[in-house]
A and B are shown apart, each in its own frame.
Chain A
Amino acid sequence: MSATIWNSRFNCAVLLALAPLGAACAPKPVPVAPIAAPAPDPLATPPVIGAAKPFVPPVPLVATLSNSASLWVIPQPALPLVSVVVHVPGGSALDAVGHEGSAWLSDRLMTQGSGKLDATAFAETVERLGIQLDVSTDQDGSWLTASMKKDQLDAALGLISNMVLQPHWGTGDYKRERELAIGELTQGQQDPPTAAAQAAPRFWWGAKHRWGHPSEGTVKGLAAVTVKDVQAYHAKVWTASGASITVAGDITLSEAQTALEGTLGKPWVAKPAGVKVEAAQPRAVGAGQLADAPFRTVLIDSPDAAQTMFYLVFPGLPEGDAALPALRAGTIALGGSFTSRLNALLREKKGYTYGAKARAQPLPGRGVVVVSSRIRTDVTGEAMTDLLGELKSIQQGINVAELKKAQGAFLQDQVEAMESVYGVAATFANYQASGFGPGQLAADLAAMDAVTLDQVKAQMGAYDIRGALVVLVGDKAKIEDGLRKAGISTIEVVEAE
């Protein structure tokens, strides 16, 4: 032991000092009890991190039903669960001006009775079987998702088939669901993140653009939606032409084909007039910019708010763009994790916020990048200055550590999505609905791995603040001075809708 050796040497040295000249330091047994030295600190240094284990994502098995609907199946037999996702192109982009919310209400009504079941009987049947059922609408499509124990799959598909083929559109159900949808929208306008997200499309795309309103519609639009509107949407969109079905869980391709053919196959006739999703035209940098402002800022006034909601929109990239992985990496470095630049500055250094986020959202034809945070009211101006500084700084690119972190975060997100059968089904349903092949997840992972610093710099350098839209929800009277000091002197006060 090192402690024992040290004590022996010390004692010999003392003897040498005290001995007459010429005397030898003869080793003698010294009755010194060994003193235990501190044990080495087992936590002194962090362990070495070993080589990464490869992640091989599943690849869906592909088939086509007799009605031309595309089918992807991802067998996951670990638990007796199955998730089914049905997508049809359409969405709120088809809403007529003044009738915003038609698609949303139409899809919502699919759960309010079909076949021989009225709304109550339908809900009782679905819930008694323990089926998790949802129909939702985004700007370019409608989605039906159902998750269940495997032994309820056939029953679930029978119900889904009736929803698609024989919805009821009962007048009472229509009125009630429309009122509920209006109530939800109204409540959302009181929630700052929801209010900002719902207002942003109006100012980003323009109120008359087909993407210029929330997928949920507007209060005014929903009030004008008629039964005829919702029926027309369903008849146009819910056709097997262009439909894609994704199934994950304790099921084989053959089982899925058999179960689906009799429910969403042969009985579901394909109509030639399926909806084709249009790509958005690129939005010019500076579009919507006011002559005397660095970028467009709109404010929803919320007197006495303790925080100001920031919601910044920048031009992004379309789905499938080769540069998307680089944009994603840069955006993760900006605001995609606890240690991202925005969180490090606004949360951890300045204490202005509970958190900040940035995400790249690809869309057909053109995507967006959204940066959001909720900032203490009294430091709104200072935070805006810091935020703009960080956006400028990241135009110079990111460093190696940030790139590695972004790549790791992207990989981990995909791994976690594969934990549940619903996560697997939803992931691949998105790929299928966007027109990608079954190997796209693996391709995306490889592409992210291959991103270089130069590629990120090229993408982040294209962030141009002059093309941004800033939506704020906060107390106008308390924040406008600070914003002016941050260089934002032109603020349009707008209604939430």
Chain B
Amino acid sequence: MPFLPALPRPLAGLVPVLALLGLVGTASAAEIPFERYELANGLQVVLVQDHSLPQVVVDTWYRVGSGNEQVGRSGFAHLFEHLMFMGTHRLPGAGIDNLMEANGGWNNAWTMEDATNYYDVGPPALLPTLLWIEADRMQQLGQAMTKDKLDLQRDVVKNERRQSYEDEPYAIGELEVPLLMYPKGHPYDHTVIGTHEDLTAASVEDVKQFFATWYVPNNASLVVAGDFDPAQVKRLIEQYFGTIEKKPLPLLPVPAVVDRAQKTRVTLTDDVDYPQINLYFHTPSSFQPGDAEVQLLGSLLADGESSRLYKRLVIGGLAQDVSAYQMPTMHGSLFVISATAADGVNVAAMETAIAAELLDLEKNPPSGPEMERVHNQFDYGFLDTLQSLQNRAVQLNQYWAYTGSPDYLAKDLARFQDATPEAIRDAAARWLRPELAGVVVIEPRPEDPPADPKASPAGGAK
């Protein structure tokens, strides 16, 4: 079976998506009208007009991420994302950033296990330039790659790793999660940031090969949102992207479903004052049955001071903070519960309390007021998020990548709206059983005894 689901043929014309809001009792409504089509080379195009502010967003989503990396090249998809800003023959050097910023625009990108997303934001007059830039690098980024560019971004990415994981309190735990939760050979058996060794090993040939394999129009979706003339934009998209060649995509096996941690526990030490416990559970893939219920479980358990785990752990004096949320991905998701101990409390006490709360769900499914809370919180959060033009663009691209169609907003809302207390209880019973968890514990690093007991303390970050 193919690694990626086949894309359905596009719908033609304007597709109004009705987002029913007010999930509990209120019947207000909002629409996100969009137009969708496909170029002959397979590039998916979605146009979202919004003339309320003079700005545009171009969001390009490539269905390739760290899950597509070769053994010994962890971190490569993300490193490649950085290289996408290093210029082409037509626009060399820092031309992409320079051209955008010189005209009031800006950009950024991100990489995850299943995807890499590039977004450009700017005034409407910049839109033809943004499209030209995206088409240019989609067509010929690989040709202009050099070792100097690679070395430079390799250093930048290693700095990102130091900043975001090595020097970030508790974040070293995240580096352990893939091997804790996935068997070797699974697409998610390594981190998105990668290791220093693998980043060092990446070659220019790797870059060119990766580009040629994955950065093709039939593996991408382009959302243009904002204040633009659709006729002009369609003409430009055809002109700029239409000649980029389609290429066959690799057929990759679908990994077997993983339902339990590979190891039960990892304990690390870090330069922190309080212990932290992180429990990871395998949960349903993004947009698959059970995903919405598990997301609502996150809200029920730890979103706000009236949530179950907050009351038991924080109000109960065991923890300073607690969070619980789904990390949705294509080949099975992870759900994480994390808590940092209150002064003098150990990990075992928190772990016992978390387990008790999860088991209690079986006897006590969400009550009426709790359902009202999680629905209203979801409802507001959904609306709030979609105020941002960029978020709307990313949302439609995400729908395309995970469901095969950007026309999914109403279904997305419905799956949360339709989640029942019993379904949420059953989701917990099936996926959040304590014995299925992989546990990462971060303990404070024991202080070294001073070399000279008479020496005065030199100060410290604590």
Residue numbers of A with Cβ under 8 A of B are 39, 42-44, 46-55, 78-81, 111, 119-120, 123-124, 126-132, 147-151, 176, 179-180, 183-184, 186-187, 189-192, 195, 299-307, 337-339, 344, 347-349, 351-354, 374, 376, 401, 404-405, 407-409, 411-412, 415-416, 418-422, 473, 476, 493-496
Contact A149 B159 (CB under 8 A): no
Contact A81 B273 (CB under 8 A): no
CB neighbors of A among B375-415 (8 A): 376-377, 379-380, 383-384, 387-389
- 8 smallest A-B Cβ distances: which pairs? A351-B155, A408-B104, A130-B376, A123-B305, A47-B128, A306-B162, A420-B387, A124-B306
Assembled-state Cα–Cα distance A212/B163 (Å): 28
Assembled-state Cα–Cα distance A147/B155 (Å): 42
Assembled-state Cα–Cα distance A41/B30 (Å): 42
Contact A404 B167 (CB under 8 A): no
- Across the interface, name the chain B residue whose C-beta is closest to A351: B155
Contact A344 B389 (CB under 8 A): no
CB contacts (< 8 Å) of A130 on chain B: these are 373, 376-377, 379-380
Contacts across chains A and B counted by CB atoms under 8 Å? 258
Question: How many whole Å from B157's CB to the nearest CB in chain A?
Answer: 8
CB contacts (< 8 Å) of A303 on chain B: these are 460
Binary contact track B416-434/A, C-beta < 8 Å → 1, others 0: 0000000000000000000
Question: How many whole Å from A411's CB to the nearest CB in chain B?
Answer: 6
Contact A420 B342 (CB under 8 A): no
- Across the interface, name the chain A residue whose C-beta is closest to B388: A419
Q: Does B240 contact A (CB under 8 A)?
A: yes
CB contacts (< 8 Å) of B389 on chain A: these are 419
CB contacts (< 8 Å) of B101 on chain A: these are 337-339, 405, 408-409
Of B21, B169, B387, the contact of A421 (CB 8 Å cutoff): B387
- Across the interface, name the chain B residue whose C-beta is closest to A343: B97
Contact B103 A408 (CB under 8 A): yes
- Across the interface, name the chain B residue whose C-beta is closest to A124: B306
Known: A419-B387, A420-B384. A187 touches B55 (CB 8 A): no
Contact A408 B105 (CB under 8 A): yes
Which of A43, A50, A124, A187 has the largest count of B CB atoms less than 10 A from its CB? A43
Known: A46-B132, A338-B106, A408-B101. A187 touches B272 (CB 8 A): yes
Could you list 15 A-B pairs, sorted by A, with CB under 8 Å?
A: A42-B239, A47-B132, A52-B123, A53-B124, A124-B306, A127-B307, A132-B384, A151-B22, A186-B274, A302-B271, A307-B167, A339-B94, A409-B104, A412-B105, A415-B54
Binary contact track B90-101/A, C-beta < 8 Å → 1, others 0: 110010011101
Binary contact track B361-381/A, C-beta < 8 Å → 1, others 0: 000000001001100110110
CB contacts (< 8 Å) of B317 on chain A: these are 176
CB contacts (< 8 Å) of B26 on chain A: these are 149, 151
Of A128, A176, A351, the contact of B369 (CB 8 Å cutoff): A128
CB neighbors of A among B253-277 (8 A): 271-274
CB neighbors of A among B222-277 (8 A): 227, 236, 239-240, 242-243, 271-274
Which of A130, A337, A416 has the largest count of B CB atoms less than 10 A from its CB? A130
CB contacts (< 8 Å) of B379 on chain A: these are 130, 149
Assembled-state Cα–Cα distance A412/B137 (Å): 24
Q: Does B352 contact A (CB under 8 A)?
A: no
CB contacts (< 8 Å) of A494 on chain B: these are 459
CB contacts (< 8 Å) of B460 on chain A: these are 300-303, 495-496
Question: How many whole Å from A47's CB to the nearest CB in chain B?
Answer: 4
CB contacts (< 8 Å) of B236 on chain A: these are 47
CB contacts (< 8 Å) of A53 on chain B: these are 54, 123-125, 227
CB contacts (< 8 Å) of A409 on chain B: these are 101, 104, 106
CB contacts (< 8 Å) of B315 on chain A: these are 119-120, 176
- Across the interface, name the chain B residue whose C-beta is closest to A336: B101
Q: Does B152 contact A (CB under 8 A)?
A: yes
CB contacts (< 8 Å) of A129 on chain B: these are 376
Question: How many whole Å from B422's CB to the nearest CB in chain A?
Answer: 20
Contact B53 A419 (CB under 8 A): yes
Contact A43 B125 (CB under 8 A): no
CB contacts (< 8 Å) of A305 on chain B: these are 167, 461
Contact B458 A493 (CB under 8 A): yes
Contact A187 B380 (CB under 8 A): no
Q: Does B311 contact A (CB under 8 A)?
A: yes
- Across the interface, name the chain A residue whose C-beta is closest to B317: A176
Contact A187 B383 (CB under 8 A): no
Of A126, A187, A338, A412, the contact of B340 (CB 8 Å cutoff): A187
Assembled-state Cα–Cα distance A38/B271 (Å): 62
Assembled-state Cα–Cα distance A126/B303 (Å): 12
- Across the interface, name the chain A residue whose C-beta is closest to B273: A186
Q: Does B194 contact A (CB under 8 A)?
A: no
Contact A301 B458 (CB under 8 A): yes
Of A46, A184, A418, the contact of B53 (CB 8 Å cutoff): A418
Contact A416 B169 (CB under 8 A): no
CB contacts (< 8 Å) of B99 on chain A: these are 46
Assembled-state Cα–Cα distance A416/B458 (Å): 45
- Across the interface, name the chain B residue whose C-beta is closest to A182: B343
Of B90, B227, B303, the contact of A43 (CB 8 Å cutoff): B90
Question: How many whole Å from A263's CB to the nearest CB in chain B?
Answer: 20
Of B85, B303, B462, the contact of A189 (CB 8 Å cutoff): B462
Contact B22 A149 (CB under 8 A): yes
CB contacts (< 8 Å) of A149 on chain B: these are 21-22, 26, 28, 376, 379-380, 383
Contact B304 A123 (CB under 8 A): yes
Contact B28 A344 (CB under 8 A): no
Question: How many whole Å from B310's CB to the nearest CB in chain A?
Answer: 8
Contact A128 B376 (CB under 8 A): yes
Known: A80-B28, A128-B372. A195 touches B380 (CB 8 A): no
Of B102, B125, B376, the contact of A52 (CB 8 Å cutoff): B125
- Across the interface, name the chain B residue whose C-beta is closest to A199: B461
CB contacts (< 8 Å) of B55 on chain A: these are 412, 415-416
- Across the interface, name the chain B residue whose C-beta is closest to A188: B169
Assembled-state Cα–Cα distance A304/B269 (Å): 13
- Across the interface, name the chain B residue whose C-beta is closest to A374: B163
Assembled-state Cα–Cα distance A422/B159 (Å): 34
Assembled-state Cα–Cα distance A119/B103 (Å): 50
Given A81-B383, A374-B159, list of 8 further CB < 8 A pairs?
A: A42-B240, A53-B123, A127-B303, A130-B377, A130-B380, A149-B26, A307-B163, A411-B104
Assembled-state Cα–Cα distance A404/B105 (Å): 11
Known: A351-B152, A496-B462. A46 touches B91 (CB 8 A): yes
Q: Does B332 contact A (CB under 8 A)?
A: no
CB contacts (< 8 Å) of A407 on chain B: these are 104
Which of B167, B320, B389 has the largest count of A CB atoms less than 10 A from its CB? B167
Contact B98 A50 (CB under 8 A): no
Of B136, B164, B273, the contact of A190 (CB 8 Å cutoff): B273
CB contacts (< 8 Å) of A52 on chain B: these are 54, 104, 123, 125
Contact B90 A44 (CB under 8 A): yes
- Across the interface, name the chain A residue whose C-beta is closest to B26: A151
Of A124, A300, A353, A405, the contact of B373 (CB 8 Å cutoff): A124
CB contacts (< 8 Å) of B17 on chain A: these are none
CB contacts (< 8 Å) of A495 on chain B: these are 459-460
Question: How many whole Å from B318's CB to the nearest CB in chain A?
Answer: 12
Assembled-state Cα–Cα distance A349/B148 (Å): 10
Contact A415 B53 (CB under 8 A): yes
Known: A46-B99, A123-B305. A190 touches B461 (CB 8 A): yes
- Across the interface, name the chain A residue whose C-beta is closest to B30: A79
Q: Does B166 contact A (CB under 8 A)?
A: yes
Of A46, A176, A301, the contact of B459 (CB 8 Å cutoff): A301
Which of A48, A51, A349, A405 has the largest count of B CB atoms less than 10 A from its CB? A405
- Across the interface, name the chain A residue whose C-beta is closest to B341: A183
Question: How many whole Å from A23's CB to the nearest CB in chain B?
Answer: 45
Question: How many whole Å from B195's CB to the nearest CB in chain A?
Answer: 14
CB contacts (< 8 Å) of B151 on chain A: these are 351
Contact B54 A183 (CB under 8 A): no
Known: A300-B460, A302-B461. A51 touches B125 (CB 8 A): yes
